[in-house]
Amino acid sequence: ADLVVEEIKKMGGEAVANYDSVENGDKIIGTAVEAFGKVDILVNNAGILRDVSFTKMTDKDWDLIDTVHLKGVYKCTKAAWPHMQKNQYGRIVNVSSAAGIYGNFGQVNYSTAKSGIMGFTKSCALEGKKKNVLSNAIAPVAASRMTETVTPKEVLEKMPPESVIPLVLYLCHESSEATGEVIECGAGWFAAIRVQRAEGVAIDKLDPETVAENFAKIVDYGGEVEYPTKIAESVMTAISRSKL
Ligand SMILES: NC(=O)c1ccc[n+]([C@@H]2O[C@H](COP(=O)([O-])OP(=O)(O)OC[C@H]3O[C@@H](n4cnc5c(N)ncnc54)[C@H](O)[C@@H]3O)[C@@H](O)[C@H]2O)c1
């Protein structure tokens, strides 16, 4: 932390360090507010791994990941939120992961937390928009201490952390109106992810045999697919297509 502060100051900026864990987010935000009087931007970036197969995972492996990722994001955001609401300005970027989108072998704990961060981001986006508090999530791939032991060197060389940073800076800028997005990024490539829904099937006989008969169609993305963005679209679609 001190090295980063030194680096920022050398470049003419102002910075202060805080050494608390993100699970004590109120202390971290307190340091920022004490130094600068407000908080405009929060990047929830802290993370660790405890990769292990689900069979071998202990409660400790689960709790540690849950605490650093989910509770950390919650506590830092919860502490920054009232300041952002009061100032009618907030830009929050939460660092999720492809593991949270797709799942990953050996990462049940980590992918669960990273999925949770996406839900957290989308709900905060809805609650914050009126007061100009915008929340987005990124799913980065980049060379770091976290990936240096598990990714080949040739791949890491193509994806320095600097290739993710421009997106984070944009999402934190006052000109950005983006909120509720989940954006995959790495090696200078950026792409948003959304939900795709299959056409689906409405049945009028409520038994598992009828589901079995229709299952291929339930999971078929070849028909009239949709891209719902709101919870209301889930309820309304079920009701409007119901055959009951
Ligand atoms: N590197 C990748 O390819 C990749 C992929 C997907 C997601 N991520 C996510 O990106 C974020 C940054 O990871 P990275 O790859 O730069 O790894 P990194 O290990 O270089 O950085 C993680 C940072 O988090 C800090 N940290 C860990 N626990 C903390 C705690 N309890 N309180 C405060 N700080 C804490 C560490 O000190 C470190 O500075 C993480 O959330 C990670 O899950 C990284």
Point out the least confidently predicted range of 60-74, 145-159, 165-179, 228-242: 145-159
Residue 217 has pLDDT above 90, yes or no: yes
150 pLDDT band, cuts 50/70/90, is confident
| Residue of 48, 66, 121, 138 to test ligand 1 pocket, by largest number of atoms within 8 Å of CB | 48
Percent of the residues in the chain that have a pLDDT greater than 90, as a whole number: 96
Q: pLDDT tens across 32-56, in order? A: 999 999 999 999 999 999 999 999 9
| Residue of 45, 49, 73 to test ligand 1 pocket, by largest number of atoms within 8 Å of CB | 45
Average pLDDT of the chain to the nearest whole number: 97
Q: How far does residue 46's CA lie from ligand 1's centre (Å)?
A: 4
Active-site residue, from 19, 74, 102, 110: 110
Gap between the Cα atoms of 114 and 98, Å rounded? 8
Percent of the residues in the chain that have a pLDDT greater than 70, as a whole number: 100
Residue 149 has pLDDT above 90, yes or no: no
Question: Between 146 and 17, whose confidence is greater?
Answer: 17
- The pLDDT value given to residue 223: 96
Using CB distances shorter than 6 Å, the residues near ligand 1 are 21-22, 45-48, 68, 72, 95, 97, 140-142, 144-147
Name which residue sits closest to atom 39 of ligand 1, judged by CA.
Answer: 46
Gap between the Cα atoms of 195 and 160, Å rounded? 29
Gap between the Cα atoms of 242 and 200, Å rounded? 11
Residue 83 tokens, joined: 């300041």
- The pLDDT value given to residue 39: 98
- Which superfamily does 2-192 belong to? NAD(P)-binding Rossmann-like Domain (3.40.50.720)
Residue 6 tokens, joined: 């030194």
With b for 16 or more beta-carbon neighbours within 10 A and e for fewer, the 2-11 pattern comes to eeeeeeeeee
Distances (CA, A) of 202 to 199, 235, 239: 10, 14, 10
Residue 218 tokens, joined: 């339930």
Residue 148 has pLDDT above 90, yes or no: no
Q: What is the mean pLDDT of residues 175-189?
A: 97
Residue 237 has pLDDT above 90, yes or no: yes
Q: How far does residue 123's CA lie from ligand 1's centre (Å)?
A: 23
Q: pLDDT tens across 95-112, in order? A: 999 999 999 999 999 999
Gap between the Cα atoms of 97 and 101, Å rounded? 7
Distances (CA, A) of 131 to 26, 82, 96, 228: 21, 11, 24, 24
- Do the bridges between strand 189-192 and strand 182-186 make them parallel or antiparallel, or are there none, so unpaired? antiparallel
**Is 102 noted as a catalytic residue in this protein?**
no
Instruction: Name the residue ranges covered by the structural domains of the chain.
Output: 2-192, 208-241
Give the CA angle between residues 8, 90, 63 to the nearest 5°: 80
